[in-house]
Structure 1
Amino acid sequence: MRFALGSRRYASQVSPTSNIPGSNEDEDDDKYSKNAKSKQSESRFGSTVFKVFETAATTFASIAILGLAGYSYHIYYKDLVLRKMDMAFTPGDPMLDMASPPGAHESVQHDDETEHWVDRPEQTKIDSIINGEAKGRYFLLVGEKGTGKSTMVLEAMRKTNGEGVSMFEAHADPEIVRIRLGKALNYDFHEDYIGSLFSIRGPRDTTALLDIERAFNKLEKIALAHRNGSRLRSKRKGPLVLVVNCAHLIRTDEDGNDLIELLQQRAEQWAASNLITMIFNSDDYWVYERLKRFATRMEVIQVLDLPKSRAIAALGRYRARYFPEQKRDREVLKQVYDLVGGRLNFLSRVAKSRDMLRMCHRICEAEKTWFLNQCGILGESMDDDVMDQQKYASAAMVLAKALVEKEKEMELHYDEHKGHVLPQIPLYIARQIMTRADFIQQYDHDNIFTIDSTAMVRPDSVPMMNAFKDICSEDGFDEYLQATLDRISAIESINRTKELTFKDLWTEQSGEQKGKYTFLTKDHKGRETGTIEMRVQPDQPPED
């Protein structure tokens, strides 16, 4: 301190301002402190500006890195989605893995050769569709339950090991259709996207149809990449194939119609551009009726029962496979065909049974029981509470009777080479016979009657036709059916009749009738046309 003070005094002595009047040591001290404070404030301001700039730069760098990381993940995720969906069309398919044990149309090894227990003429057509040779169209497989439609598609997929093909099952609920489509296409609908962790509403906030549309958009990109050769995981040539199995399970309500319309629009677009070939597999006629409205590139493949010669040959081959020790009696095989016809589902069940004829009778009895449980009539004594169900049942009985009468009028209902020729009636005539137009679709869905692609109505199968004949040939059936119809008409007449009750219509005063009602009648223009007078006639005393 002494050294500093001495230095300050020495500076004041030699300073030029020491001779100026009014200057002193206090003024020098004030100037020094002001300069020090100003320098200190400047240093603090610069430090604050630097810190602000440093913080802003750090924040900007963090946001930039976070944004770059998020954008990079988004690009990676979109490419991952396409790569995962591309893997769905590589060799192998979940439907093939879950296929049933060896059965109809399945390959069996015999002496190092592949042999099918039955060959259908439609198999060649389906093979060309699955391997990509058929282009520019989409297809509808329609036929009765158990004719082998799904099995032929799976057989065609086995030949190509499922390469370039994806298959899923339809359902009545669009949400389940969404899940099954996602499984078939290996698409998670962005439910595995990490950004959903920060979403309050969950990974999906939309409808099933919008998700299906988004899945089809991704599938379209995969198909374009395959056609352009940019994705080389599959060496397939030709369009990809998407199979919608059991399309008849979709409901015929507003949501179901929207789903069918969405699928058909995509099928039309992809068929026109040769990108993807769609196959609809249905047991019911209504799917064809719904698709027919807007179809321009649709081709229908009708799958029927096997003719007699093919059915007997297939049954004998299949029988030898499961019971090689038994001899094949051709007469027994003919009897089997006469009882159950050429339906593959029935032939498969019969061939696996030791007593084939007994199994045939069980199948016929089961079909008859099913028909009676669904459409049994109750006669004249039925209660009015079951009238709606009896309308459904009596209409089915009337149509079954008409088919039985139609068979009696046919010149040929059994051909030695083709086999059974079931009677059939045009759809509009069948509706006239039933006097109802809304029941036939449910009959088709319940496998009682079937409607083919040419709008012809016939029994669902040979055992069902046998059930029709057994029921209609029972004693008193016509009278019982007529009594049911009369009872339905009587109940409807009662429901349509309105009863009007008059109270205190007349009073007797001094022997005169005073009470009466007068009704004024008018025409449709409001003009009076007359009057109606109602009065009570007193009871007459009995004559002696």
Structure 2
Amino acid sequence: MPCEACLSHVRDELNHVTRAFFTTCPKRNEKTSDTSKDGPKSQNHSSFRNEPSLSSRMLESAATAFASLVVLGTGFGLGGYLYHKSYKWLVLHKMEGAFEPGDPVLELAAIGKQIPNTIASQSEEPEAHWILREEQVKIDGIVNGTDRGHYHLLIGEKGTGKSSMLLDAMKKVDGEGISMFEAHADLEIFRVRLGKALDFEFHEDYIGSYFSERGPRDSTALLDIERAFNKLEKVALKRRKIVGRPLVLIINAVHLLRDDEDGRDLLELLQQRAEQWAASNLVTVVFNSDDYWVYERLKVLATRMEVTSVTDLPKTQALSALSKYRAKYYKEVPTSEILAEVYSRVGGRLTYLNRVAKSKDMIKTCDEIIDVERRWFLNQCWILGMEMDDDVMDQQKYAAAAMVLALALVKRESELASQPNADGSHNIPQIPLHIARQIMTRADFIRDYDHINLFTITSSAFVRADSVPMQRAFRSICTEEGFEAHLDATLQRIGDIESLGRTRELVAKDLVLGGRYKFLLRDGERRGEKVTEVVLEEKDGG
């Protein structure tokens, strides 16, 4: 049997090997307390030796935080980029939808119209019209995209049928590739209406604006309109590649823009885009205006603009339409004398023919129209005569100039009475614009007269009454007994007030007592200076 010392030595060697094994084994911490003879003392010693240092733990925490930030940043960045790209795609997609068939303007017009509504509306038979104007063929070509390479200005008096022809042309193509909206004097309202017509939100619904320094509306109306046109240009480029026809943008009632700095800036912006798009066959812009000043403003920079003047109907078309309307809806055939009398009173203006055609007593309705025009003119421009107060002189200058021009047109009408047109239609008297300004002795009033529908300025720069009823109103006023004397008295009073304003009166009270002044011219203190000295002389015997 081995001795006790040998057994002790073997036991020590086994313990040494066991400790070395558990120190190097990956599973050294599993159930160490159950198998080790040294128990807790050996386990604590092993844990102390394998615990990581403070710098290692700090480095591990930093790496974990950095990895989290990278993952979150990458996720947010990728999500933001995808949202930005999808938003830009959605903006163009929505704008493309604004030019798809079916325009809201056509829907509103259909709701507001009941057949028969206007004398130029369609009847139940397809492609049958009460009146087919000569200009309709050209407007159809503009709207359907066959007439390209130009932008267009439709100009004419209120109620001649410009908007109706545009709506009719849109209806024939179901509004495909066309957008139409009404202009407004306020640029913000103009911006909103343009956005509605193009289905463009001006990035007001863009979530990224919450994280930017500048807000989504921190801009001007003109800049927003420019951004909308940039998007429209991209849509038009895509359409030209696919369809081969330009888009059509119709701006109705452009005369409502103010003739001030903001209005002129907006009109210049619209014209620049219209010129550029017409040259590249991207978008055909159509301006619709009642006033001459829009044409005058656009003509300065126009190179590709075409002007279409829309006037009253000629006598043959007007009487034919009126006769058909009465026969269909009133079962009566008006005599040629009644039709001729109606035309002589209201002319060929569609808005007046529509009212007359739907009334039971056509002649009475004609007289009511003339009376309304007469009262409108008198309320705006009646003169006050010699008794007027000097406080109203500015308004009376405006009124007297209108009366002078109306009298000139009435006298011109009497000269043309013996020269009827070949078709028997009205030969409405007109005067060249520069001569009209000379007659009024003012150049600034005529635009305002045109705007409030007293006189009209044609595209060929002639001035005439706004309509046949207005010309008859001029005639009834200017042929009244004593009118010219009343007008002369008003002009005389205006001249007297202006003379008083330019005159300064000096009253020398000493002369009333019989004194006399002596004027002496002597040299002044400075070289070459002359001084007038006034001395009061004593009265003789005083």
Same fold per superposition (TM over 0.5): yes
Partner of 2:340: 334
Conserved? CA contact 1:413–1:423, under 8 Å: no
Distance 1:169 1:451 in 2: 22
Partner of 1:357: 363
Conserved? CA contact 1:140–1:298, under 8 Å: yes
Partner of 1:228: 241
1:487 is the counterpart of 2:493: yes
1:386 is the counterpart of 2:386: no
- Aligned to 1:299, the other structure's residue is in SS state strand
Quick one: which amino acid aligns to residue 67 of structure 1?
A: G
Structure 2 residue runs without a partner (length 5+): 1-7, 17-42
Deviation at 1:79, TM superposition (A): 0.4
1:286 is the counterpart of 2:293: yes
Partner of 2:69: 59
TM-score, normalising length: structure 2: 0.86
Distance 2:503 2:347 in 1: 50
1:340-361 CA deviation, whole Å, 9 max, x = no partner?
A: 0000010001111111110000
1:364-397 CA deviation, whole Å, 9 max, x = no partner?
A: 0000101000110000001111111100000000
Conserved? CA contact 1:413–1:422, under 8 Å: no
Conserved? CA contact 2:323–2:333, under 8 Å: no
Deviation at 1:407, TM superposition (A): 1.6
Deviation at 1:410, TM superposition (A): 2.3
Distance 1:302 1:398 in 2: 27
Deviation at 1:37, TM superposition (A): 6.4
Deviation at 1:516, TM superposition (A): 6.5
Deviation at 1:195, TM superposition (A): 2.1
Distance 2:420 2:447 in 1: 28
1:271 is the counterpart of 2:288: no
State which of 49, 65, 73 in structure 1 corresponds to 2:83. Answer: 73
Partner of 1:40: 51
Quick one: which amino acid aligns to residue 150 of structure 2?
A: R
1:438-466 CA deviation, whole Å, 9 max, x = no partner?
A: 00000000111111111011111111111
TM-score, normalising length: structure 1: 0.85
Residues 140-151 of structure 1 correspond to what in structure 2 (within 5 A)?
Answer: 140-151=153-164
State which of 90, 109, 121 in structure 2 corresponds to 1:106. Answer: 121
Superposition RMSD on alpha carbons, in Å? 3.1
- Aligned to 1:419, the other structure's residue is in SS state coil
State which of 208, 215, 223 in structure 1 corresponds to 2:221. Answer: 208
Partner of 1:251: 258
Distance 2:412 2:173 in 1: 46
1:288-329 CA deviation, whole Å, 9 max, x = no partner?
A: 000000000000000110010001011122333432x33333
Is the deviation greater in 407-416 or in 216-225?
407-416
Conserved? CA contact 1:104–1:151, under 8 Å: no
Quick one: which amino acid aligns to residue 138 of structure 1?
A: Y
- Aligned to 1:420, the other structure's residue is in SS state coil
Partner of 1:406: 412
Distance 2:399 2:516 in 1: 54
Partner of 1:160: 173
Residues 267 and 539 from structure 1, CA distance in 2 versus in 1: closer, same or farther, beyond 3 angstroms? farther
Structure 1 residue runs without a partner (length 5+): 1-5, 15-31, 230-235
Conserved? CA contact 1:404–1:468, under 8 Å: yes
The percentage of aligned residue pairs carrying the same residue is 55
1:434 is the counterpart of 2:449: no
Distance 1:86 1:373 in 2: 49
Deviation at 1:434, TM superposition (A): 0.3
Conserved? CA contact 2:291–2:457, under 8 Å: yes
1:82-134 CA deviation, whole Å, 9 max, x = no partner?
A: 00000011001111111131324322213xx4311111000000000001111
Residues 527 and 119 from structure 1, CA distance in 2 versus in 1: closer, same or farther, beyond 3 angstroms? farther
State which of 319, 322, 329 in structure 1 corresponds to 2:329. Answer: 322
- Aligned to 1:326, the other structure's residue is in SS state coil
Partner of 1:3: none
Is the deviation greater in 249-258 or in 190-199?
190-199
Residues 389 and 514 from structure 1, CA distance in 2 versus in 1: closer, same or farther, beyond 3 angstroms? closer
Distance 1:520 1:60 in 2: 98
Quick one: which amino acid aligns to residue 386 of structure 1?
A: V
Residues 418 and 513 from structure 1, CA distance in 2 versus in 1: closer, same or farther, beyond 3 angstroms? closer
Residues 518 and 466 from structure 1, CA distance in 2 versus in 1: closer, same or farther, beyond 3 angstroms? farther
Quick one: which amino acid aligns to residue 460 of structure 2?
A: T
Quick one: which amino acid aligns to residue 251 of structure 2?
A: V
Deviation at 1:54, TM superposition (A): 1.0
1:499-532 CA deviation, whole Å, 9 max, x = no partner?
A: 34668x6999xxx96986767899xxx9668847
- Aligned to 1:212, the other structure's residue is in SS state helix
Partner of 2:5: none
Partner of 1:97: 107
Distance 2:87 2:385 in 1: 67
Partner of 2:3: none
Report how many aligned residue pairs link the two structures. Answer: 501
Deviation at 1:415, TM superposition (A): 3.1
Distance 2:415 2:537 in 1: 60
Distance 1:132 1:346 in 2: 32
Distance 1:184 1:521 in 2: 79
Distance 2:93 2:394 in 1: 54
State which of 430, 437, 448 in structure 1 corresponds to 2:454. Answer: 448
Residues 383 and 224 from structure 1, CA distance in 2 versus in 1: closer, same or farther, beyond 3 angstroms? same
1:222-267 CA deviation, whole Å, 9 max, x = no partner?
A: 00000112xxxxxx55211100100000000000000000000000
Is the deviation greater in 310-319 or in 132-141?
310-319
Distance 2:325 2:523 in 1: 79
Distance 1:89 1:167 in 2: 10
Partner of 1:137: 150
- Aligned to 2:120, the other structure's residue is in SS state coil
Partner of 2:468: 462
